[in-house]
Structure 1
Amino acid sequence: MSHTRTLAWHETLELHELIASQSVGLIKVKKSLKKIRDPQLRHLYSMAARGLEGNLRELLPFLPKAPVFHREDERADLFFEAGELLALAKTSVRNYAIAITETATPELRRVLVKQINAAIRLHEQVFQYMYQRGLYPAYNLTELLRGDAMHAQKAISMR
């Protein structure tokens, strides 16, 4: 096994996607946990939160090995709210793409194509919103990774 000083660009981008999506997911799970009354479901949510926290704690030490790194920001709440919507749109596009490849009924295929196009437009609009406000610096890997680290730390520390 090789011990490199930096990650490759492609694995850095995958690391970004994992940290960003799991940070947003952790915030969502922790916010939902406060509202859940059913003990068994509450336990499942607690397990999910611990799992996501553990994942982030294991992934964060790799960020300093990225080809570029470091950031501080105070707009984390806005990032999480917009990021949650961006993740929903992205997941919808992926889910529709899979569903379309499994569809044999022409009428259903037309509906799914219409809906995937709407999900693609939503993703673009949310991305542009985030990009224009500096919440998603897609063309600046240093800033992108700094934001990932900050958002993940905030998600972990949230009670």
Structure 2
Amino acid sequence: MRTLAWHETLELGELIASQAHCLAKFKMVLPQIQDPELRSLYEFSIGALQGNLQELLGFLSSVEPARGGDMMPSITDSFYAGDLLGAAKTAVRNYAIAITETATPELREIFLKQLNAAVRWHEKVFTYMAQRGLYPAYDLGKLLQVDVTLAQNAINM
């Protein structure tokens, strides 16, 4: 297989991080699910995410530059900060999409105001993570290693 392009490497890393985070969260709450049908949905989702991650991780051997050294963020602060970062990213994306579907000017203004607030929220969480070494944005090797570690931890939970 050819070396992955940088833009697809970054998207691959985003998908790995996002799905690994969901997988870990689903595994943590599974013991609390009492309804058998809902529990079955969680188990299905866990299996699907694990399968996705195992496939996606295989593509990291095609990444240039090679992955960085060991970086083992704690499952506590790193995980919880990642949860906030994912929520903020999702909010930014959702507001951006909603704005393109809005015909009512007053509603569009509210969406724009809240989009800007979501961007500031994302910035605050990102800054927190970057300052603590939880999001090495300028080192692709370390960034991918964080994603791999998160995915492996989630799979092994």
Equivalent residue, structure 2, for 1:118:
117
- How far off its partner does 1:74 sit? 4.1
Equivalent residue, structure 2, for 1:88: 87
Equivalence for 2:156 = 157
Distance 2:31 2:95 in 1: 31
Partner in structure 1 of residue 128 of structure 2: 129
Partner Cα separation in structure 2 for residue 59 and residue 15 of structure 1: 7
Q: Provide, for residues 103-122 of structure 1, a one-character-per-residue CA deviation record: whole Å limited to 9, x for no partner.
A: 11222112111111111110
Q: Which range is displaced more, 30-39 or 43-52?
A: 30-39
The aligned residue for residue 14 of structure 2 is: 17
Equivalent position of 1:72 in the other structure? 71
Tell me by how many angstroms 1:32 deviates: 2.3
Worse-superposed segment, 75-84 or 130-139: 75-84
Question: What secondary structure, in the 3-state scheme, does the structure 1 residue paired with 2:145 have?
Answer: helix
The corresponding residue for 1:109 is 108
Deviations 1:73-94 (A, max 9, x none): 1423322111111011101111
Q: Which moved more, 1:35-44 or 1:75-84?
A: 75-84
1:36 partner amino acid: I
1:140 aligned residue: 139
Q: Is the 8 A contact 2:21 2:154 kept in 1?
A: yes
How far is the alpha carbon of 1:72 from its aligned partner? 3.2
> Within 1, Cα distance between the matches of 2:90 and 2:128?
18
Contact 2:88–2:119 under 8 Å retained in 1: yes
CA RMSD of superposed structures (Å): 1.2
Conserved 8 A contact 2:73-2:134: no
- Normalised by the length of structure 2, the TM-score is 0.93
Tell me, yes or no, if structure 1 residue 36 matches structure 2 residue 33. yes
- Percent identity, aligned pairs only? 58
Q: Please name the residue that 1:55 is paired with.
A: 52
Runs of 4+ in 1 over 4 A off after TM superposition: none
Q: How has the CA–CA distance of structure 1 residues 74 and 96 changed in structure 2, closer, same or farther, with 3 Å as cutoff?
A: closer
CA contact (8 A) 2:19 2:49 kept: yes
TM-score normalised over the length of structure 1: 0.92
The secondary structure found in structure 2 opposite 1:103 is coil
- List gaps (5 residues or longer) in structure 2: none
